[in-house]
Structure 1
Amino acid sequence: MKQIFKKVSSLCTVLLMMAVLTLTGASAVWAEEVDDTVKQTLITTAEGLTDTIVTLGDEDIENYSKSSDAFTTSAMSAWAGSKSELGALKERSGEVEVKASDDGYTVTVPASFEKADANFVYVFDGSTGAPTSLTVDVQYSMAETLRRAVMNTIMGIAIVFIVLIFLSFLIYLFRFIPNPEAKKKAQAAAAPAPVPVAAPAVEEPADDTELIAVIAAAIAAAEGTTTDGFVVRSIRKINRKKR
């Protein structure tokens, strides 16, 4: 089975080219309508490819995935992504559908598997007749579709809550990050207010009225006169040196 895809692809190309050259003589007719002979050739080729692909094991898929042929790698990628969801092939059920396009053909091969049904959608090149790509379209049941929708909704809500919790945790950690500006403001608010300094008291000149009256009376007594004969205008202290 190592060269099975190359052989099938080569056979497909030869058969399709022979059919086109025999029936139409030009590849432009392919895009306009599907001739019965060409249609049957496409169906046979697509069914043969499907029967071959579904029997490949994991080791075969891995080996063919390393091929340089674009269709082979595309087919292996499509089947590897759907194999576990489908299980083993039960039968190829339903009618194979062939549609023509401007640049080739699209062939859909329905098949029933143990776990679900699937459509193998092949694209054939209109000028060469060779298959270019494969898509495995899994047909999920209504119950499975609803189950997947519910699971996706739950996953979305869970992711939103996880992100919110993570953001809340980050915001909580901000309080442990040092902030010099806030620290300075807190220290300034906690510092005691400066005590106002009292202005020095200004000494008011002493009232010497009583002292002048006493001195005047003493002088008058010493002189034997009254205080009417003289007036004491000022008092000055004289520092006498001790002998």
Structure 2
Amino acid sequence: MTFLVMAALVIGSTSVVFAADKVDDTVKSTLVTTAEGLTDAIVQLKDEEIENYMSSGDDFTTSAMQSWQTSKDELGAKKDSNGETTVTFKDDQYTVTVPLKFEKAEANFVYVFDSQGTPTSMSVDVQYGMGKTLQRAGLNTLMGIGTVFVMLILLSLLISLFRFIPNPEAKKAAEAKAAKAAKEAEAAAIAQTAPAQAEENLADDGELVAVIAAAIAAAEGTTTDGFVVRSIRKVKRNRR
């Protein structure tokens, strides 16, 4: 009921035009009273009441309830104010900041009013201490590094599975390489057997070799010791 009364008070004050270039004392006093009253009403709401406002309230009420619901467990119960409420005016909007102290942390309730003094949004800015900030930064860092390592492991596993995927091109290349190796081995075997066959032919035609060698020696006027017949091949001549 308190929250509804304060909301009605704010909506009823829209007849006052807050369009000055700077915030005068009257406007500031009105905005501070409205923001602080809304804050006191919001922090006292129970979970059931928050759910009811979120389901049946207007846009401002819904956004305010959502912002407070996500922050209330981190803050705990309200203890006291944490300084003076400030009002700034920029881009035809008034921003009112209400600083408060809670059991677990400090927070700023930031309200935005239009030029007519109607609230348009509210957010809760939790002020974490140095220890809490470092703790959150460390957790975020560990989470980021952990995520990177997990992704690298998954990527390695995915790459290792590529060997089970059939690759026609690789198979063709392997077959071509094997065929080439077989041809080279066959050519090497033929090259190794050719001298042996020539020597065998010379051994079989020993008498013919001796005759030919003697004929060559007689024609050259020397002996057969000055040369060696390695092979004998038949020359094909065209008959006339």
TM-score (norm 2): 0.70
> Relative to total residues, which structure has the larger helix share, 1 or 2?
2
The yes-or-no answer on 1:150 pairing with 2:148 is no
Pairwise CA RMSD of aligned residues? 2.4
Q: SS at the partner of 2:23?
A: coil
How many residue pairs end up in the alignment?
187
Tell me, yes or no, if the aligned pair for 1:31 and 1:101 is still in contact at 8 Å. Answer: no
In the alignment, the residues of structure 2 paired with residue 50 and residue 183 of structure 1 have an alpha-carbon distance, to the nearest angstrom, of 74
2:43 & 2:101 partners in 1: Cα distance? 11
Corresponding letter in the other structure for 2:170: A
Going from structure 1 to structure 2, the CA distance change for 1:193 and 1:34 (only over 3 Å counts) comes to closer
Q: Does 1:180 align with 2:189?
A: no
Preserved CA contact (<8 Å) 1:30 1:100: no
2:9 pairs, out of 11, 15, 21, with: 11
TM-score (norm 1): 0.69
1:94 to 66, 83, 88: 83
1:1-243 equivalent positions in 2, closer than 5 A: 1=1, 5-15=3-13, 17=15, 20=16, 27=17, 30-67=19-56, 69-127=58-116, 129-190=117-178, 193=182
Larger Rg: 1
Q: Which runs of 5+ in 2 are unaligned?
A: 191-240
How many angstroms apart in 2 are the aligned matches of 1:31 and 1:169? 65
SS of equivalent to 1:121: strand
- Give how far 1:16 is off: 5.4
Partner amino acid for 2:82? S
What's the offset of the Cα at 1:156? 1.0
Report the alpha carbon displacement of residue 92 of structure 1 after superposing the two structures with TM: 2.2
Q: Counterparts of 1:68 and 1:90 in 2: how far apart (Å)?
A: 27
CA distance in 2, matches of 1:124, 1:55: 22
Identity %: 61
In structure 1, the residue corresponding to 2:19 is in which secondary structure?
Answer: helix
Q: Which amino acid aligns with 2:158?
A: L
SS in 1 for 2:30: helix
**Range with greater deviation from structure 2 (8-17 or 131-140):** 8-17
2:56 partner SS: coil
Instruction: Give the residue type in structure 2 aligned to 1:126.
Output: S
Q: Secondary structure at the match of 1:123?
A: strand
- Deviation per CA, 1:28-73: give whole Å up to 9, x if none: x633222322222211111111011112222222221223511111
Specify the code of the residue in structure 1 equivalent to 2:69.
Answer: A
Unpaired runs of 5+ in structure 1?
Answer: 21-26, 198-243
1: distance between equivalents of 2:115 and 2:68?
A: 24
Tell me, yes or no, if the aligned pair for 1:91 and 1:113 is still in contact at 8 Å: yes
Give, in whole Å, the separation in 1 of the partners of 2:41 and 2:137: 33
Could you tell me which amino acid in structure 2 is paired with residue 8 of structure 1?
A: M
Alpha-carbon separation, structure 1, partners of 2:177 and 2:85: 85
Contact persistence 1:9–1:130 (CA under 8 A) = no
Query: Which residue identity lines up with residue 61 of structure 1 in the other structure?
Result: I
For residues 151-195 of structure 1, what are the alpha-carbon distances to aligned partners after superposition, in whole Å with 9 as ceiling and x for unaligned?
111111111111111111110010111112222332343458366
Distance 1:172 1:102, change over 3 A: closer
